[in-house]
Amino acid sequence: MDSAEFHAAVYEAVRLIPLGKVTSYGHIAHLIGMPNHSRHVGQALKFADPGVNPPLPWQRVIGSSGAISSRGPGTNGAQRQREALEAEGVEVTVGRAGEFKVDMRIYGWFPDNVEILQPEDQDQVDGENSSSG
DNA sequence: AGGTTGACGTTAG
DNA sequence: TCTAACGCCAACC
């Protein structure tokens, strides 16, 4: 697994995220078979070209905690990600510290069987919110 | 070769 | 629910 292949695998997994849903860096890492490379998933997205085709829905990847990671005090990456998510219908809330958060119980997308995911089987993979609500 | 960084995750209190 | 601490691994200096 080279760096280029890692990036390609990350992009392929990220493109699987359905519209209006979000997942975590760790889950992308999990889907490509490298669960402990969660940090590098973000790194791969950072180096991704915004003009690639098919387009990369990078905005659908956030922290496992449901928070949009801050790229840094002087950057507006988090703000752009928030706008991109809201444009898809994902509701983003703002915490006290100005952090953007998404309710994973509603918009979370964490299937373990993406390889067998079919358009007609999507009804049986979103049972993550069975705990409450 | 060693120390620090980073679009993270999990566990403990 | 939120904060603090530890673990993780490649890139960078």
What is the tens place of the pLDDT at every residue in A82-131? Answer: 999 999 999 999 988 889 999 999 999 999 866 655 545 555 544 444 43
Give the pLDDT confidence of A42-56 residue by residue, as tens digits. 999 999 998 888 999
Give me the CATH number covering residue A96.
1.10.10.10
- The reported pLDDT for the residue numbered A133 is 35
Number of domains in chain A: 1
- The reported pLDDT for the residue numbered A130 is 41
Contact yes or no for A26/A34 (Cβ under 8 A): no
Give the bridge partners for A62, in sequence order. Answer: A24
Count how many residues are written for chain A: 133
Percent of residues in chain A assigned helix, strand, coil, to nearest 5: 40, 10, 50
Under DSSP, the state recorded for A61 is E
- Measuring from the CA of residue A42 to each C1' atom, give the nucleotide at the shortest distance: B7
Contact yes or no for A31/A114 (Cβ under 8 A): yes
Contact yes or no for A20/A121 (Cβ under 8 A): no
Query: Residue A2 and residue A8: Cα distance in Å, rounded?
Result: 10
- The reported pLDDT for the residue numbered A127 is 44
For A19, other C-beta atoms within 10 Å of its C-beta total 9
User: How far is C-alpha A27 from the chain's CA centre?
Assistant: 8
Distance A110 CA to B7 C1' (A): 19
Range of the domain at A98: 3-129
- The reported pLDDT for the residue numbered A120 is 53
Strand B nucleotides, any atom under 7 Å from protein beta carbons: they are 6-10
Distance A65 CA to B13 C1' (A): 18
Asked whether the CA dihedral A57, A71, A34, A4 is positive or negative, the reply is positive
Give the pLDDT confidence of A30-46 residue by residue, as tens digits. 999 999 999 999 999 99
